[in-house]
């Protein structure tokens, strides 16, 4: 390992990762709940499902940031992203990088970010272990 002394910052790195996950999912969930009619039309889902999705994103993102059962919250967010990837590949026929819109590379990156939280429990700075 080249920068062995930097490993002492691993807990900070995991906290920053959790903060980034939370910012992304809370913001996305807020957009779903702010105008569920318009958002449901843009993603091709029902209004009620869009409200459920927005609530799940906000609660999951907040739980990951705060470290409240971070592994369970991250698993829930992985399920949300797997649904998004499924829609983009099989319903919208969007490529990995996308053509007219964003591809599913971004969604896959969020899956991997949440897997890090699942594997590490989000680091030592969590409320529930």
Using alpha carbons, select from 78, 70, 75, 85 the residue that is nearest to residue 111.
78
Q: Which residue is it, tokens 């529930």?
A: 128
What pLDDT does residue 73 have? Answer: 98
pLDDT tens figures, 6-42: 999 999 999 999 999 999 999 999 999 999 999 999 9
pLDDT tens figures, 63-77: 999 999 999 999 999
Residues of the chain with pLDDT > 70, as a percent, come to 99
What pLDDT does residue 102 have? Answer: 84
What pLDDT does residue 129 have? Answer: 77
Alpha-helix residue ranges (DSSP H) falling in the chain:
10-34, 36-43, 47-66, 70-86, 105-120
pTM over 0.75: yes
Average pLDDT, integer, range 86-108: 91
CA 105/CA 79 separation, integer angstroms: 16
Distances from the Cα of 112 to the Cα of 33, 65, 99, 115, angstroms: 25, 16, 23, 5
Average pLDDT, integer, range 36-65: 96
């Amino acid at each position: 390992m080249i920068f062995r002394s930097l490993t002492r910052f691993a807990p900070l790195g995991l906290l920053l990762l959790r903060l980034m996950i939370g910012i992304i999912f809370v913001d996305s969930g807020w957009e779903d709940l702010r105008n569920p009619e318009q958002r449901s039309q843009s993603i091709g889902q029902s209004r009620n499902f869009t409200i459920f999705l927005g609530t799940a994103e906000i609660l999951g993102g907040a739980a990951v940031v705060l470290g409240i059962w971070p592994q369970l919250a991250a698993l829930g967010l992985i399920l949300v992203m797997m649904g998004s990837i499924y829609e983009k590949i099989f319903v919208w026929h969007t490529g990995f990088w996308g053509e007219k819109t964003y591809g599913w590379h971004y969604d896959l990156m969020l899956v991997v970010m949440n897997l890090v939280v699942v594997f590490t429990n989000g680091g030592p700075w969590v409320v529930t272990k």
